[in-house]
Amino acid sequence: MIVGTIVPGLAVERHRENEKLFAQWSIPTGFNIKGMYFSVGHAFLLADVETPAACYEALEPWGTYQFQVIPVVEAPQMMQLARKVGDWRDKVLGG
């Protein structure tokens, strides 16, 4: 999940630039958008990101936003990973 928040205090013209940019923007290879949503002052993207470079290329044009990239996985995979990490922690910490 990628959460973008509008940078406060920018001139209105900077926000209008996004409309022009978006009309000409192409989604980079390796950045596979599954959903894109907007609310007042925020953008939300759910994407399969193949490389850090693809993520950078996708987000860099939008200087009017500050982004937070949050890794998300489906519940069954999360449970499997949680067990794996828990086993590793117990092994290392002797728990």
Residues 6+ apart with CB under 8 A from 53: 30
Residue 19 has pLDDT above 80, yes or no: yes
Q: What is the CATH number of the domain that holds 36?
A: 3.30.70
What's the pTM? Answer: 0.77
Integer Cα distance of 71 and 65 in angstroms? 19
Domain that holds residue 19: 2-93
Dihedral sign computed on CA atoms, order 24, 28, 34, 37: negative
Number of domains in the chain: 1
User: Could you report the per-residue pLDDT of 51-66, keeping only the tens digit for each?
Assistant: 999 999 999 999 899 9
Residue 11 has pLDDT above 80, yes or no: yes
User: Could you report the per-residue pLDDT of 43-52, keeping only the tens digit for each?
Assistant: 999 999 999 9
